[in-house]
Structure 1
Protein backbone atom coordinates (compact mmCIF):
# COMPACT_ATOMS: atom_id res chain seq x y z
CA UNK A 1 0.00 0.00 0.00
CA UNK A 2 2.86 2.36 0.81
CA UNK A 3 4.40 1.83 -2.63
CA UNK A 4 1.13 2.84 -4.30
CA UNK A 5 1.00 6.08 -2.26
CA UNK A 6 4.61 6.96 -3.15
CA UNK A 7 4.00 6.24 -6.84
CA UNK A 8 0.88 8.39 -6.88
CA UNK A 9 2.74 11.23 -5.17
CA UNK A 10 5.52 11.00 -7.73
CA UNK A 11 2.99 11.10 -10.56
CA UNK A 12 1.31 14.14 -9.06
CA UNK A 13 4.63 15.94 -8.68
CA UNK A 14 5.54 15.19 -12.30
CA UNK A 15 2.24 16.70 -13.40
CA UNK A 16 2.61 19.76 -11.16
CA UNK A 17 6.16 20.59 -12.16
CA UNK A 18 5.49 19.81 -15.83
CA UNK A 19 2.55 22.23 -15.82
CA UNK A 20 4.78 24.97 -14.38
CA UNK A 21 7.46 24.37 -17.00
CA UNK A 22 4.97 24.37 -19.87
CA UNK A 23 3.31 27.52 -18.53
CA UNK A 24 6.69 29.28 -18.54
CA UNK A 25 6.71 29.96 -14.79
CA UNK A 26 10.05 28.17 -14.26
CA UNK A 27 12.99 30.21 -15.53
CA UNK A 28 15.31 28.65 -18.08
CA UNK A 29 18.57 30.22 -16.95
CA UNK A 30 18.37 29.37 -13.25
CA UNK A 31 18.70 26.04 -11.50
CA UNK A 32 15.48 24.76 -9.96
CA UNK A 33 15.69 25.42 -6.23
CA UNK A 34 14.73 21.99 -4.99
CA UNK A 35 14.61 22.93 -1.29
CA UNK A 36 12.28 25.86 -1.91
CA UNK A 37 10.10 23.93 -4.36
CA UNK A 38 9.80 20.94 -2.02
CA UNK A 39 8.79 23.24 0.84
CA UNK A 40 6.26 25.04 -1.36
CA UNK A 41 4.69 21.76 -2.47
CA UNK A 42 4.84 20.27 1.02
CA UNK A 43 6.90 17.22 0.07
CA UNK A 44 10.35 15.86 0.78
CA UNK A 45 13.19 16.22 -1.70
CA UNK A 46 13.29 12.50 -2.54
CA UNK A 47 10.00 12.25 -4.48
CA UNK A 48 10.64 15.70 -5.97
CA UNK A 49 14.04 14.58 -7.25
CA UNK A 50 12.37 11.49 -8.75
CA UNK A 51 9.88 13.74 -10.51
CA UNK A 52 12.67 15.96 -11.87
CA UNK A 53 14.50 12.90 -13.17
CA UNK A 54 11.37 11.77 -15.01
CA UNK A 55 10.93 15.23 -16.51
CA UNK A 56 14.52 15.09 -17.71
CA UNK A 57 13.69 11.78 -19.39
CA UNK A 58 10.70 13.48 -21.03
CA UNK A 59 13.04 16.09 -22.47
CA UNK A 60 11.78 19.12 -20.53
CA UNK A 61 14.73 19.40 -18.11
CA UNK A 62 18.48 18.93 -18.30
CA UNK A 63 20.79 18.19 -15.42
CA UNK A 64 24.26 19.60 -14.88
CA UNK A 65 26.69 17.94 -12.51
CA UNK A 66 26.88 19.84 -9.21
CA UNK A 67 24.42 22.44 -10.49
CA UNK A 68 21.06 20.65 -10.48
CA UNK A 69 18.20 20.75 -12.97
CA UNK A 70 17.45 23.44 -15.54
CA UNK A 71 14.56 23.92 -17.95
CA UNK A 72 15.79 23.14 -21.45
CA UNK A 73 16.05 26.20 -23.64
CA UNK A 74 13.82 26.62 -26.68
CA UNK A 75 15.73 26.03 -29.91
CA UNK A 76 14.70 25.92 -33.55
CA UNK A 77 16.54 22.60 -33.91
CA UNK A 78 14.30 20.98 -31.30
CA UNK A 79 11.20 22.58 -32.82
CA UNK A 80 12.16 21.28 -36.26
CA UNK A 81 12.59 17.74 -34.92
CA UNK A 82 9.33 17.76 -32.95
CA UNK A 83 7.26 19.14 -35.80
CA UNK A 84 8.90 16.93 -38.44
CA UNK A 85 7.84 13.86 -36.45
CA UNK A 86 4.34 15.25 -36.03
CA UNK A 87 4.10 15.83 -39.79
CA UNK A 88 5.00 12.20 -40.42
CA UNK A 89 2.51 10.76 -37.95
CA UNK A 90 -0.31 13.11 -37.03
CA UNK A 91 -2.11 13.68 -40.38
CA UNK A 92 -2.53 9.93 -40.98
CA UNK A 93 -3.63 9.21 -37.41
CA UNK A 94 -6.15 12.07 -37.42
CA UNK A 95 -7.60 10.85 -40.72
CA UNK A 96 -7.95 7.34 -39.31
CA UNK A 97 -9.57 8.69 -36.14
CA UNK A 98 -12.11 10.68 -38.13
CA UNK A 99 -13.36 7.47 -39.71
CA UNK A 100 -13.49 5.54 -36.42
CA UNK A 101 -14.73 8.12 -33.91
CA UNK A 102 -17.92 7.36 -31.99
CA UNK A 103 -20.66 9.93 -31.46
CA UNK A 104 -19.40 10.47 -27.91
CA UNK A 105 -15.84 11.08 -29.14
CA UNK A 106 -17.10 13.49 -31.78
CA UNK A 107 -19.03 15.44 -29.14
CA UNK A 108 -15.95 15.47 -26.87
CA UNK A 109 -13.78 16.91 -29.66
CA UNK A 110 -16.38 19.63 -30.30
CA UNK A 111 -16.52 20.55 -26.59
CA UNK A 112 -12.72 20.61 -26.35
CA UNK A 113 -12.42 23.03 -29.25
CA UNK A 114 -15.05 25.30 -27.68
CA UNK A 115 -12.99 25.42 -24.47
CA UNK A 116 -9.79 26.08 -26.44
CA UNK A 117 -11.44 28.93 -28.34
CA UNK A 118 -12.72 30.49 -25.10
CA UNK A 119 -9.30 30.40 -23.44
CA UNK A 120 -7.55 31.66 -26.58
CA UNK A 121 -9.98 34.56 -27.04
CA UNK A 122 -9.57 35.52 -23.39
CA UNK A 123 -5.75 35.34 -23.72
CA UNK A 124 -5.86 33.19 -20.60
CA UNK A 125 -3.44 30.69 -19.15
CA UNK A 126 -3.42 27.14 -20.40
CA UNK A 127 -3.80 27.74 -24.13
CA UNK A 128 -1.04 25.23 -24.82
CA UNK A 129 -2.68 22.57 -22.66
CA UNK A 130 -6.07 23.06 -24.30
CA UNK A 131 -4.42 23.00 -27.73
CA UNK A 132 -2.83 19.68 -26.83
CA UNK A 133 -6.15 18.34 -25.54
CA UNK A 134 -7.91 19.29 -28.78
CA UNK A 135 -5.33 17.61 -30.98
CA UNK A 136 -5.40 14.46 -28.85
CA UNK A 137 -9.21 14.42 -29.05
CA UNK A 138 -8.77 14.17 -32.83
CA UNK A 139 -6.17 11.39 -32.49
CA UNK A 140 -7.31 8.98 -29.78
CA UNK A 141 -10.30 7.58 -31.72
CA UNK A 142 -7.78 6.13 -34.20
CA UNK A 143 -7.39 3.18 -31.76
CA UNK A 144 -3.63 3.40 -32.29
CA UNK A 145 -2.47 3.62 -28.65
CA UNK A 146 1.28 3.36 -29.24
CA UNK A 147 1.37 6.02 -31.95
CA UNK A 148 -1.01 8.24 -30.00
CA UNK A 149 1.22 7.99 -26.92
CA UNK A 150 4.22 9.00 -29.03
CA UNK A 151 2.28 11.96 -30.40
CA UNK A 152 1.17 12.97 -26.91
CA UNK A 153 4.80 13.14 -25.83
CA UNK A 154 5.63 15.23 -28.90
CA UNK A 155 2.79 17.60 -28.00
CA UNK A 156 4.18 17.96 -24.48
CA UNK A 157 7.62 18.79 -25.89
CA UNK A 158 6.05 21.20 -28.34
CA UNK A 159 3.71 22.98 -25.94
CA UNK A 160 6.19 25.76 -25.10
CA UNK A 161 6.68 26.29 -28.83
CA UNK A 162 2.92 26.69 -29.19
CA UNK A 163 3.09 29.52 -26.65
CA UNK A 164 5.94 31.15 -28.58
CA UNK A 165 4.09 30.70 -31.86
CA UNK A 166 1.02 32.50 -30.52
CA UNK A 167 2.97 35.56 -29.31
CA UNK A 168 2.61 37.68 -32.51
CA UNK A 169 -0.64 39.61 -32.85
CA UNK A 170 -3.33 37.81 -34.82
CA UNK A 171 -1.88 34.32 -34.53
CA UNK A 172 -4.51 33.25 -32.00
CA UNK A 173 -7.41 34.06 -34.34
CA UNK A 174 -5.72 32.29 -37.22
CA UNK A 175 -5.20 29.24 -35.01
CA UNK A 176 -8.90 29.32 -34.05
CA UNK A 177 -9.89 29.41 -37.72
CA UNK A 178 -7.55 26.56 -38.65
CA UNK A 179 -8.84 24.43 -35.79
CA UNK A 180 -12.45 25.10 -36.79
CA UNK A 181 -11.82 24.03 -40.39
CA UNK A 182 -9.95 20.97 -39.20
CA UNK A 183 -12.79 19.93 -36.88
CA UNK A 184 -15.40 20.43 -39.64
CA UNK A 185 -13.52 18.04 -41.93
CA UNK A 186 -12.98 15.60 -39.06
CA UNK A 187 -16.68 15.57 -38.17
CA UNK A 188 -17.52 15.05 -41.84
CA UNK A 189 -15.28 11.94 -41.78
CA UNK A 190 -13.46 13.26 -44.84
CA UNK A 191 -10.16 11.43 -44.29
CA UNK A 192 -8.28 13.02 -47.18
CA UNK A 193 -9.35 16.54 -46.19
CA UNK A 194 -8.45 15.89 -42.55
CA UNK A 195 -4.99 14.68 -43.56
CA UNK A 196 -4.35 17.74 -45.73
CA UNK A 197 -5.74 20.22 -43.18
CA UNK A 198 -3.70 18.73 -40.34
CA UNK A 199 -0.53 18.70 -42.44
CA UNK A 200 -1.00 22.33 -43.47
CA UNK A 201 -1.76 23.37 -39.88
CA UNK A 202 1.40 21.78 -38.47
CA UNK A 203 3.57 22.91 -41.39
CA UNK A 204 2.45 26.53 -41.05
CA UNK A 205 3.35 26.50 -37.36
CA UNK A 206 6.91 25.37 -37.97
CA UNK A 207 7.32 27.87 -40.82
CA UNK A 208 6.24 30.65 -38.45
CA UNK A 209 8.62 29.41 -35.77
CA UNK A 210 11.55 29.52 -38.19
CA UNK A 211 10.86 33.18 -38.83
CA UNK A 212 10.50 33.88 -35.11
CA UNK A 213 13.81 32.23 -34.28
CA UNK A 214 15.76 34.06 -36.99
CA UNK A 215 16.11 37.33 -34.99
CA UNK A 216 17.25 35.27 -31.98
CA UNK A 217 19.91 33.59 -34.13
CA UNK A 218 21.16 36.92 -35.52
CA UNK A 219 21.43 38.49 -32.06
CA UNK A 220 23.28 35.43 -30.77
Structure 2
Protein backbone atom coordinates (compact mmCIF):
# COMPACT_ATOMS: atom_id res chain seq x y z
CA UNK A 1 0.00 0.00 0.00
CA UNK A 2 1.48 3.34 -1.05
CA UNK A 3 0.95 6.65 0.71
CA UNK A 4 0.00 9.48 -1.60
CA UNK A 5 1.57 12.77 -0.50
CA UNK A 6 -0.59 15.85 -0.25
CA UNK A 7 -0.88 17.76 -3.50
CA UNK A 8 0.52 21.25 -3.92
CA UNK A 9 -3.06 22.51 -4.11
CA UNK A 10 -3.91 20.88 -0.75
CA UNK A 11 -0.86 22.40 0.89
CA UNK A 12 -1.58 25.85 -0.54
CA UNK A 13 -5.21 25.53 0.60
CA UNK A 14 -4.15 24.90 4.20
CA UNK A 15 -1.57 27.71 4.24
CA UNK A 16 -3.91 30.34 2.79
CA UNK A 17 -6.86 29.21 4.92
CA UNK A 18 -4.81 29.61 8.09
CA UNK A 19 -3.67 33.06 7.01
CA UNK A 20 -7.26 34.09 6.41
CA UNK A 21 -8.56 32.66 9.69
CA UNK A 22 -5.69 34.20 11.67
CA UNK A 23 -6.27 37.55 9.90
CA UNK A 24 -2.74 37.56 8.52
CA UNK A 25 -4.64 38.35 5.32
CA UNK A 26 -7.06 41.06 6.53
CA UNK A 27 -10.64 41.48 5.26
CA UNK A 28 -11.00 43.09 1.81
CA UNK A 29 -7.37 42.36 1.03
CA UNK A 30 -6.90 41.22 -2.58
CA UNK A 31 -4.90 38.04 -3.14
CA UNK A 32 -1.83 38.81 -5.26
CA UNK A 33 -1.60 35.44 -6.96
CA UNK A 34 1.77 35.99 -8.64
CA UNK A 35 3.45 37.05 -5.39
CA UNK A 36 1.75 34.36 -3.32
CA UNK A 37 2.63 31.60 -5.78
CA UNK A 38 6.25 32.74 -5.78
CA UNK A 39 6.32 32.86 -1.98
CA UNK A 40 4.90 29.32 -1.72
CA UNK A 41 7.21 28.02 -4.44
CA UNK A 42 4.41 26.73 -6.66
CA UNK A 43 2.84 27.63 -9.97
CA UNK A 44 -0.40 29.59 -10.25
CA UNK A 45 -2.39 26.52 -11.34
CA UNK A 46 -2.44 24.68 -7.96
CA UNK A 47 -2.80 28.03 -6.21
CA UNK A 48 -5.91 28.86 -8.25
CA UNK A 49 -7.34 25.45 -7.37
CA UNK A 50 -6.76 26.19 -3.67
CA UNK A 51 -8.31 29.65 -3.94
CA UNK A 52 -11.35 28.18 -5.70
CA UNK A 53 -11.86 25.71 -2.85
CA UNK A 54 -11.55 28.52 -0.31
CA UNK A 55 -14.21 30.46 -2.22
CA UNK A 56 -16.49 27.40 -2.02
CA UNK A 57 -16.00 27.40 1.76
CA UNK A 58 -16.96 31.08 1.96
CA UNK A 59 -13.51 32.27 3.04
CA UNK A 60 -12.78 34.10 -0.22
CA UNK A 61 -14.83 36.01 -2.77
CA UNK A 62 -14.00 36.78 -6.36
CA UNK A 63 -14.97 39.48 -8.83
CA UNK A 64 -14.41 39.46 -12.59
CA UNK A 65 -11.14 41.19 -13.47
CA UNK A 66 -10.37 41.75 -9.78
CA UNK A 67 -9.49 38.24 -8.67
CA UNK A 68 -9.90 36.87 -5.16
CA UNK A 69 -10.19 38.84 -1.94
CA UNK A 70 -11.03 38.16 1.70
CA UNK A 71 -14.65 39.14 2.46
CA UNK A 72 -15.42 41.62 5.20
CA UNK A 73 -16.82 40.61 8.56
CA UNK A 74 -20.52 41.43 8.44
CA UNK A 75 -23.41 41.30 10.88
CA UNK A 76 -25.50 39.51 8.25
CA UNK A 77 -23.04 36.63 7.90
CA UNK A 78 -22.55 36.38 11.67
CA UNK A 79 -26.31 36.11 12.21
CA UNK A 80 -26.60 33.36 9.60
CA UNK A 81 -23.61 31.31 10.73
CA UNK A 82 -24.44 31.43 14.44
CA UNK A 83 -28.15 30.77 13.79
CA UNK A 84 -27.19 27.61 11.91
CA UNK A 85 -24.87 26.58 14.73
CA UNK A 86 -27.79 26.98 17.15
CA UNK A 87 -29.96 24.71 15.03
CA UNK A 88 -27.40 21.91 14.77
CA UNK A 89 -24.63 22.00 17.35
CA UNK A 90 -26.41 21.88 20.76
CA UNK A 91 -28.50 18.81 19.87
CA UNK A 92 -25.51 17.17 18.18
CA UNK A 93 -23.38 17.57 21.30
CA UNK A 94 -26.25 16.36 23.49
CA UNK A 95 -26.60 13.19 21.41
CA UNK A 96 -22.83 12.66 21.28
CA UNK A 97 -22.35 12.85 25.05
CA UNK A 98 -24.58 9.80 25.45
CA UNK A 99 -22.65 7.85 22.81
CA UNK A 100 -19.08 8.77 23.77
CA UNK A 101 -16.74 5.96 24.76
CA UNK A 102 -13.79 6.20 27.10
CA UNK A 103 -11.35 7.25 24.35
CA UNK A 104 -13.69 9.96 23.10
CA UNK A 105 -14.30 11.28 26.60
CA UNK A 106 -10.55 11.47 27.17
CA UNK A 107 -10.16 13.22 23.79
CA UNK A 108 -12.66 15.89 24.88
CA UNK A 109 -10.76 16.43 28.15
CA UNK A 110 -7.50 16.73 26.21
CA UNK A 111 -9.07 19.15 23.73
CA UNK A 112 -10.15 21.49 26.52
CA UNK A 113 -6.74 21.26 28.21
CA UNK A 114 -5.06 22.16 24.92
CA UNK A 115 -7.46 25.07 24.45
CA UNK A 116 -6.76 26.44 27.92
CA UNK A 117 -3.00 26.12 27.42
CA UNK A 118 -3.21 27.87 24.05
CA UNK A 119 -5.35 30.64 25.53
CA UNK A 120 -2.55 31.50 27.93
CA UNK A 121 0.04 31.64 25.14
CA UNK A 122 -1.54 32.87 21.92
CA UNK A 123 -5.11 33.95 21.14
CA UNK A 124 -4.63 33.10 17.46
CA UNK A 125 -3.87 29.47 18.26
CA UNK A 126 -6.58 29.45 20.91
CA UNK A 127 -9.29 29.98 18.30
CA UNK A 128 -8.09 26.95 16.36
CA UNK A 129 -8.10 24.86 19.56
CA UNK A 130 -11.57 26.24 20.31
CA UNK A 131 -12.82 24.67 17.08
CA UNK A 132 -11.17 21.35 17.96
CA UNK A 133 -12.77 21.33 21.41
CA UNK A 134 -16.25 21.98 20.03
CA UNK A 135 -15.80 19.25 17.40
CA UNK A 136 -14.72 16.78 20.08
CA UNK A 137 -18.15 17.25 21.66
CA UNK A 138 -20.12 16.36 18.50
CA UNK A 139 -17.90 13.67 16.91
CA UNK A 140 -18.89 10.62 19.06
CA UNK A 141 -21.69 8.52 17.66
CA UNK A 142 -20.43 8.28 14.10
CA UNK A 143 -22.66 11.04 12.69
CA UNK A 144 -20.21 12.00 9.97
CA UNK A 145 -22.47 14.40 8.07
CA UNK A 146 -23.42 16.27 11.25
CA UNK A 147 -19.76 16.55 12.25
CA UNK A 148 -18.83 17.86 8.79
CA UNK A 149 -21.59 20.48 8.93
CA UNK A 150 -20.53 21.65 12.39
CA UNK A 151 -16.90 21.84 11.29
CA UNK A 152 -17.82 23.87 8.21
CA UNK A 153 -19.81 26.31 10.37
CA UNK A 154 -16.92 26.62 12.82
CA UNK A 155 -14.53 27.46 9.99
CA UNK A 156 -16.89 30.21 8.86
CA UNK A 157 -17.33 31.38 12.46
CA UNK A 158 -13.65 31.42 13.34
CA UNK A 159 -12.92 34.97 12.18
CA UNK A 160 -15.93 36.14 14.20
CA UNK A 161 -14.78 34.24 17.28
CA UNK A 162 -11.44 36.05 17.04
CA UNK A 163 -13.32 39.33 16.82
CA UNK A 164 -15.46 38.38 19.80
CA UNK A 165 -12.41 37.66 21.98
CA UNK A 166 -10.81 41.07 21.40
CA UNK A 167 -12.33 42.87 24.44
CA UNK A 168 -10.71 42.11 27.78
CA UNK A 169 -12.50 39.54 29.91
CA UNK A 170 -14.17 37.65 27.06
CA UNK A 171 -11.60 34.86 27.09
CA UNK A 172 -12.07 34.19 30.81
CA UNK A 173 -15.85 34.03 30.37
CA UNK A 174 -15.53 31.64 27.45
CA UNK A 175 -13.18 29.41 29.46
CA UNK A 176 -15.69 29.22 32.31
CA UNK A 177 -18.49 28.33 29.90
CA UNK A 178 -16.33 25.64 28.26
CA UNK A 179 -15.52 24.00 31.60
CA UNK A 180 -19.19 23.90 32.62
CA UNK A 181 -20.08 22.50 29.20
CA UNK A 182 -17.49 19.73 29.40
CA UNK A 183 -18.59 18.83 32.94
CA UNK A 184 -22.18 18.36 31.76
CA UNK A 185 -21.00 16.45 28.67
CA UNK A 186 -18.89 14.04 30.73
CA UNK A 187 -21.86 13.54 33.09
CA UNK A 188 -23.95 12.58 30.03
CA UNK A 189 -26.49 15.23 31.00
CA UNK A 190 -27.83 15.75 27.49
CA UNK A 191 -30.44 18.37 28.41
CA UNK A 192 -27.87 20.49 30.25
CA UNK A 193 -25.33 20.13 27.44
CA UNK A 194 -27.88 21.43 24.93
CA UNK A 195 -28.89 24.30 27.22
CA UNK A 196 -25.32 25.38 28.06
CA UNK A 197 -24.09 25.18 24.47
CA UNK A 198 -27.08 27.15 23.21
CA UNK A 199 -26.42 29.86 25.79
CA UNK A 200 -22.71 29.89 24.86
CA UNK A 201 -23.48 30.44 21.17
CA UNK A 202 -26.18 33.05 21.87
CA UNK A 203 -23.94 35.07 24.18
CA UNK A 204 -21.19 35.18 21.53
CA UNK A 205 -23.66 36.34 18.90
CA UNK A 206 -25.06 38.98 21.25
CA UNK A 207 -21.57 40.39 21.78
CA UNK A 208 -20.87 40.39 18.06
CA UNK A 209 -24.03 42.39 17.43
CA UNK A 210 -22.50 45.14 19.54
CA UNK A 211 -19.11 44.90 17.83
CA UNK A 212 -20.05 44.65 14.16
CA UNK A 213 -21.39 47.64 12.22
CA UNK A 214 -24.84 47.48 10.60
CA UNK A 215 -24.98 45.85 7.19
CA UNK A 216 -23.48 47.95 4.41
CA UNK A 217 -23.44 46.44 0.89
CA UNK A 218 -20.41 48.51 -0.04
CA UNK A 219 -18.43 47.01 2.82
CA UNK A 220 -18.40 43.57 1.18
CA UNK A 221 -16.92 44.77 -2.09
CA UNK A 222 -13.18 44.85 -2.73
CA UNK A 223 -11.46 48.18 -3.36
CA UNK A 224 -11.37 49.10 -7.06
CA UNK A 225 -8.15 48.47 -8.89
CA UNK A 226 -6.11 51.49 -9.65
CA UNK A 227 -5.48 52.12 -13.29
CA UNK A 228 -1.86 52.14 -14.20
CA UNK A 229 -0.57 55.24 -15.86
CA UNK A 230 0.91 54.82 -19.25
Q: TM-score, normalised by structure 2?
A: 0.89
Aligned mates of 2:214, 2:149 — CA distance in 1 = 31
Q: How does 1:176-187 map to 2 (within 5 A)?
A: 176-187=175-186
SS at match of 1:167: coil
CA contact (8 A) 2:75 2:214 kept: no
Structure having the larger proportion of residues in helix: 1
- Name 1:17's counterpart in structure 2: 16
- Name 2:129's counterpart in structure 1: 130
CA contact (8 A) 1:93 1:142 kept: no
Deviation string 1:101-144 (CA, Å, 9 cap, x unpaired) is 11111111111111111111224431211110000000100321
Q: How does 1:19-168 map to 2 (within 5 A)?
A: 19-168=18-167
Distance change in 2, residues 1:216/1:81 (3 Å): closer
- Name 1:201's counterpart in structure 2: 200
Pairwise CA RMSD: 1.8
CA contact (8 A) 2:31 2:67 kept: yes
Aligned mates of 1:76, 1:31 — CA distance in 2 = 21
CA contact (8 A) 1:127 1:163 kept: no
CA contact (8 A) 2:114 2:129 kept: yes
Aligned mates of 1:130, 1:100 — CA distance in 2 = 23
Aligned mates of 1:6, 1:116 — CA distance in 2 = 29
Deviation string 1:13-41 (CA, Å, 9 cap, x unpaired) is 21111011000001323311111111111
Q: TM-score, normalised by structure 1?
A: 0.93
**Which of structure 1's runs of 4+ aligned residues deviate more than 6 A?**
4-7
SS at match of 1:63: strand
Which 10-residue stretch deviates more, 12-21 or 94-103? Answer: 12-21
Aligned mates of 1:10, 1:30 — CA distance in 2 = 21
Aligned mates of 1:119, 1:77 — CA distance in 2 = 30
CA contact (8 A) 2:74 2:213 kept: no
Aligned mates of 1:183, 1:65 — CA distance in 2 = 46
Aligned mates of 1:54, 1:66 — CA distance in 2 = 19
Gapped runs of 5+ residues in structure 2?
220-230
- Name 1:175's counterpart in structure 2: 174
Gapped runs of 5+ residues in structure 1?
none
- Across the two proteins, how many residue pairs are aligned to each other? 215
Distance change in 2, residues 1:179/1:155 (3 Å): same
Which 10-residue stretch deviates more, 168-177 or 140-149? Answer: 140-149
